[in-house]
Amino acid sequence: MTAVIEARGLSKSYGRHRALDAVSFTVGAGRIVGLIGPNGAGKTSALKAILGLTPFEGELRVLGFDPRSQRDELMRQVNFMADVAVLPRWLRVRQALDYCAGVHPRFDRARAADFLARTDIAQGSRVRELSKGMVTQLHLALIMAIDARLLVLDEPTLGLDLLYRRKFYDTLLNDYFDRERTILLTTHQVEEVENLFTDVLFIERGRLVLDASVEVIAGRYRQLTVSAEQSARARALQPFYEREVFGRVAMFFDGRSEAELRTLGEVRTPSIADLFVARMQGTLQS
């Protein structure tokens, strides 16, 4: 697997607060990776380090570059879209295209214009005249028109309604993503996008709780739902997390086979969202 991001012992402190604590992971080419964690877990610090926006300790290579000393070369091949609107409100849409064409050697103005032509966004409109959803579409048009190898998305659909969120990710997959590009995505709307992920990184209190592909998760984790009468037998198999659901008990297991669990109740592979809650709560309880 060709490494797009390699982190070894990545650490970041703000005074006495340890935002990242010796984190190590690898992101391969052509993957869609979900960086998932609660508020304050270290996601933003990790993204800032990857983008060369903050000093850090440890080793980090992104597309073969050191973000600390080679940020100019790195950002020619990286796109970043944050959860906040960064375009000046007085700016006209065509001026945004002019600016990107002037500063980024990999920007394809015709591609951006073609995408905008399929929206309700007029190139003469000012940013302040656009809805939040339309501003997000404009951001998407700009990043899709840049031929980059790595796309970093930080809560890109925050505050958008369901229709805009769905359209955003459909466009991203159908018109942008290919096996030569890699996407790193942070989001709190895990249920809506978990089917997109090839890999997930769960982070809590600056440490990785889980680093696994979706295929590994399907083979490793089981969710067992049992009646109250069967809960004692199931608990003897040492679930790492459990919760009550409508009078039944949902238990989560790491490494137990479906065969040894199915005699006790209903077995399935947990969703990414459910597994995230289980691992986070299990970490807090341990």
DSSP annotation string for 197-261: -SEEEEEETTEEEEEEEHHHHHHHEEEEEE-GGGHHHHHTT--SEEEEETTEEEEEEES--HHHH
Straight-line distance from the first to the last Cα atom of the chain, in angstroms, rounded to the nearest whole number: 34
pLDDT at 106 over 60: yes
- The per-residue pLDDT of the chain, averaged, comes to 90
Which distant-in-sequence residues (6+ apart) come within 8 Å of 189 by Cβ? Answer: 157, 165
d(CA 21, CA 150): 24
Q: Where in the chain is the domain with CATH 3.40.50.300?
A: 3-205
Point out the least confidently predicted range of 6-15, 55-64, 101-110.
Answer: 101-110
Tell me the average pLDDT across 60-71: 95
Name the pTM for this structure: 0.89
* Amino acid found at 207: R
Please give the angle made by the CA atoms of 236, 240 and 245, to the nearest 5 degrees. 85
Q: 125-153, pLDDT tens digit by residue?
A: 999 999 888 888 898 889 889 988 999 99
Give the per-residue pLDDT at 229: 85
Pinpoint the alpha helices (H) of 33-174.
43-50, 71-74, 93-103, 109-117, 132-144, 162-171
CATH 3.40.50.300 describes domain 3-205: yes
DSSP annotation string for 147-183: --SEEEEESTTTT--HHHHHHHHHHIIIII--TT-EE
Q: 207-219, pLDDT tens digit by residue?
A: 999 999 999 999 9
Three-class SS state of 266: strand
CATH 1.10.3470 describes domain 216-285: no
Q: Where in the chain is the domain with CATH 3.30.70?
A: 216-285
